[in-house]
Structure 1
Amino acid sequence: MNMPDMPVNVPVDDPNADTEWNDILRKHGVIPEKPPSPTAELEEVLVQARALAHEHRLEGKDLDELAELEDDEDDDFLEHYRRKRLAEMSTIASSAIYNQVYPLQKPDYSREVTEASSKSYVVVLLTASLSSNAESRILEGLWKAMAEKFGDVKFCQIRADMCIEGYPEKNTPTILIYKDGDIKRQIVTLRELQGTKTSIRDLERVLVSVDAVKPNDLRLSKNPDENEWAQNAKDSADNEDDGSDWD
């Protein structure tokens, strides 16, 4: 008489343990195969990351930096990046059609800002009416530097109370970033940046955050010394008298 198949309770202390008993159970399908070691997976990911970083090690380097690597890198590899940089520089030059700060009048706002943002990013600075507003004075100087540096972005400026009736002085300076007719980001005063210590690098990060400038753009500041000329612009703005195009 054949006995019916009966379930067999197989003792398993730790199904993930490396034991001879567990190997037998895995062989017969009693317990599942042991999952791969997280450490091994992590090592594989790290190896791939290092290989990718090595492959793209010249990304972000300008022509001068590439020239310094002539003794350390393969000539063909360097030439590939030289051509890439020259192509990027050509694209930047051809798209740099603004390169200045555009003063706005309220009747022209829709055409010069909202409609113009269908072609490029438009960044508007609403300044204070009082010369005692230090943040506005600082940002006006930086605005000129940014406009010259990023000529494919249209930088505009208007006194806040001439643009929006009753706009609170305490909310100036205000930055409005437009693209395709919409406001992509609004910054009220410099509190969320660095206050009166706001630098050109802070403004660059804002442009990168809205995709107005790519993170690998060759024009982005690479070290603090590159802010010196922007600081000079700020100092110049602080020394100007109250008479300006925005009054």
Structure 2
Amino acid sequence: MQDPNADTEWNDILRRKGILPPKEKPVEEEEDEEHVSQQQSVVKTYEDMTLDELEENEDEFNDEDERAIEMYRQQRLAEWKAKQIKNAFGELVEISGQDYVQEVNKAGEGIWVVLHLYKTGIPLCTLINQHLTELARKFPQTKFLKSISTTCIPNYPDRNLPTIFVYLEGDMRAQFIGPLLFGGMNLKIEELEWKLSEAGAVKTDLEENPRKQIEDKLMSSIRCSLPTRKDIDSDED
């Protein structure tokens, strides 16, 4: 009698006709399918976890579990990166008063906004716009905006320019008003970066306030130029 499980063309024809039952699966193949099913079950259990949750539960995974959920780990990471790219701005954008609500108040969850009120013809405003253009490229997760002062706030006094407002989710977190707060035309981009980092708008890699370094050098220079007691005694002689 012919073996119904034999791999023959005749048996294949009989199986298609329903005369022979389906071919029995080898034990190894059944074990493989069971293993895949277990993996799918594990994946389904953890597929809704965030990256942080996957890290927290990592000790509960064995080698097979780890392989099974790795694709979801990579998927979550890809989604996170895509979100970061979506939130990247990277340039200083001009807005009008009509854009204020949309661009500032509705900037989005966790989005810091730096708004510079300026006027053309004021050198310090021009300098700050140049610095902010560079900082917008360096910190693309922060939204950098500029607006002509009276366009954004009617009758805003020129004596208050330049003005920088810092917002988080529509709430003002810091304000820098007037030329004295910026140190005049000697303002360095690092100093402005430090001010924004203290407000929370950017995460700087600067280790200390650049203004302090300048002040320390200035005081050191003054001390060096002052006459010593020896010089005073020599003059008296």
Tell me the TM-score normalized by structure 1: 0.47
Flag the structure with higher helix content.
2
Larger RCO: 1 or 2 (CA < 8 Å, sep 6+): 1
